[in-house]
Amino acid sequence: MASMNVHHLELYYYVAKHGGIMPAVRNIPYGIQQPAVSSQMAQLEEFVGATLFQRRPFELTEKGEKLFQFIQPFFSNLDKVTDELQGGQARHIRVGASTIILREHLPELFQAVKKKFPRLKMSLREGYPAQLEELLLEDEIDLAVTVLESKPAAGIHSLALLELPLVLLVGKASEIKSAEELWRRDKIDETLICLPQSEAICRHFQRKLGELGVDWFPGIEASSSDLIEAYVSAGLGIGMSPAVPGKPLPSNVKALPLNGFARVVIGALWHGRKTPLIELFLAEGQKRAKRFV
């Protein structure tokens, strides 16, 4: 007698847990495309002879819920059992961060950790601070590296790694000597170059501008601080960026301090106990941060 395909059950676990095939594809810890998941869900339903879930809107059927309740304890505890079999040394970590942090700050950190965990596997998720906290609470990620904007939700622990001041970047030939000169104007004509408005750094900046009664919104959104510097160097506007100590600016660009603007705090968030792997990430993060002080 044929038995259920265990891989089909694993895929169904993700579909049921995350509320649909596309959300499942985004959370399955290995590469698989939506058509393949849809096809295998159809095969599973054909095997059991019943519809397990409604597609639009997504909802488990009575039999689908019964199957999910049966397989959920097994698949949800696989990582825990794996850790125990490996002597408590996890080999897989799920990290969430903003696009900027994932691109500019985490690759070197990952390299340092992999020296001690050569077989380390990582899953990366992009998100804003509030989204990352939700992912932690839902056990979708193990660690978040993000701008710390407020006290985290109950059960989430935080560790500040780095505080960076905000600065304006202008051409060295510019007649602008301070940010305060701009705030005194009726209208700022220069183009503001900054990170995407979805980034917490930009929200900090715009919130303070609002308190000062200044209207100045991005004219160019750049995906990294290096691009901001390049566009300022090319004479395309004034940049707003966190200042990284020890990082040289282009020769024709100077930084103007943003007095009265809060420093941006970058830190780590995790939920529950710290695993040895999380502790290692935190230690390497602190070590990297000290180089910028």
Domain of residue 190, CATH code: 3.40.190.10
Nearest to 272 by CA among 124, 77, 138: 138
**Over the chain, what is the mean pLDDT?**
87
β-bridge pairing 143-147 and 264-271: antiparallel
Closest by alpha carbon to 159, among 277, 265, 262, 245? Answer: 265
Q: What are phi and psi of 98, to 5 degrees?
A: -75, 165
Residue 256: what pLDDT?
Answer: 96
**pLDDT single digits (tens) 52-110:** 999 889 999 999 999 999 999 998 887 666 656 555 555 778 899 877 778 777 888 88
1 part of a folded domain:
no
52 and 88: one domain?
A: no
Query: Measured between alpha carbons, how far is 132 from 130 in angstroms, rounded to an integer?
Result: 5
Name the one residue in this structure whose structure tokens are 């020296």.
Answer: 115
pLDDT at 289: 76
In the predicted model, what is the mean pLDDT of residues 37-47? 94
What distance in Å separates the CA atoms of residue 105 and residue 97, rounded to the nearest whole number?
A: 10
Is residue 249 assigned to a domain? Answer: yes
Tally the domains of the chain: 3
Kindly state whether residues 188 and 52 are assigned to the same domain.
no
Provide the residue range defining the domain that includes 41. 6-76
CA triple 129-135-139, angle to 5 deg: 145
Helix-, strand-, coil-residue percentages of the chain, each rounded to 5: 45, 20, 35
Per DSSP, 249 falls in state: P
Domain ends where: 54, 76, 98? 76
Q: Is 271 helix (H, G, I), strand (E, B) or coil?
A: strand
Instruction: Considering only residues 113 and 68, tell me which one the structure prediction assigns the higher pLDDT.
Output: 68
List the one residue out of 239, 257, 233 whose CA is nearest residue 195.
239
Q: What is the identity of the amino acid at 261?
A: F
